[in-house]
Amino acid sequence: MVTTQLVMVAIMTMTPVHMEHHGHSMSAIGLVIGIHVGAMYLPSLFTGVLADRFGRKAIVFASGFTLLLAGCVGALAPGDSMVFMILALALLGLGWNFGLISGTALIIDSTDPSTRAKTQGTTDVFIALAGASGGAMSGMVAAGSSYAVLSLTGGILALLLVPIVFLVDRKKES
């Protein structure tokens, strides 16, 4: 959940700047961000069902791969292409949704009811710190390199969710 928040905020924060540099209007930028926000929350109606049906880890994997795809599309998209910007930011929102819902379900599954609220609250603080860090660092990364590097780095970072889930599983089995 922390990783998905960091990646999502970092890429989302620099997208309007990137789009403006490529001549997009404020209404076009607003449309892309609006679709992104919709993709963050609207799938929640189904993501929980998917996590129950296919397992939490499968949705964590889907999160990592969806965020990687979002980063690749954002990095490789022509700067003047609305279609690719919409696709990249919709995938970014969907990947974040998969990470948030599956992560929350994993917390619920792995905590005792007596400590669940404290654990979730602590996690929420780290999520907020990750978002703030991602937003702050994204400007430096984009300025020092490019939006493409930021997007690819975010996607690769998100893909690290896959081995992390395997490592955590292995520690539980030991």
Cα within 13 Å of Cα(19), Cβ side: 25
pTM: 0.93
Share of the chain above pLDDT 70, in %: 97
User: What pLDDT is stored for residue 161 in this prediction?
Assistant: 82
CA 132, CA 166: separation in Å to the nearest integer? 28
Average pLDDT over residues 6-23: 96
pLDDT over threshold 70, residue 117: yes
Quote the mean pLDDT of the chain. 94
User: What pLDDT is stored for residue 40 in this prediction?
Assistant: 98
User: What pLDDT is stored for residue 89 in this prediction?
Assistant: 98
pLDDT over threshold 80, residue 130: yes
Share of the chain above pLDDT 90, in %: 89
CA 14, CA 139: separation in Å to the nearest integer? 7
pLDDT confidence tier of residue 169, bands split at 50, 70 and 90: low
Strands of the chain (E only): list them: none
pLDDT, tens digit, for every residue of 24-78?
A: 999 999 999 999 999 999 999 999 999 999 999 999 999 999 999 999 999 999 9
Average pLDDT over residues 76-98: 96
pLDDT over threshold 60, residue 173: no
pLDDT over threshold 60, residue 111: yes
User: What pLDDT is stored for residue 174 in this prediction?
Assistant: 56
What is the residue extent of each domain of the chain?
2-103+116-173
pLDDT over threshold 70, residue 106: yes
User: Residue 115 belongs to what H/E stretch?
Assistant: helix 113-144
The CATH architecture of the domain made up of 2-103+116-173 is Up-down Bundle (1.20)
C-beta of residue 14 within 8 angstroms of C-beta of residue 143: no
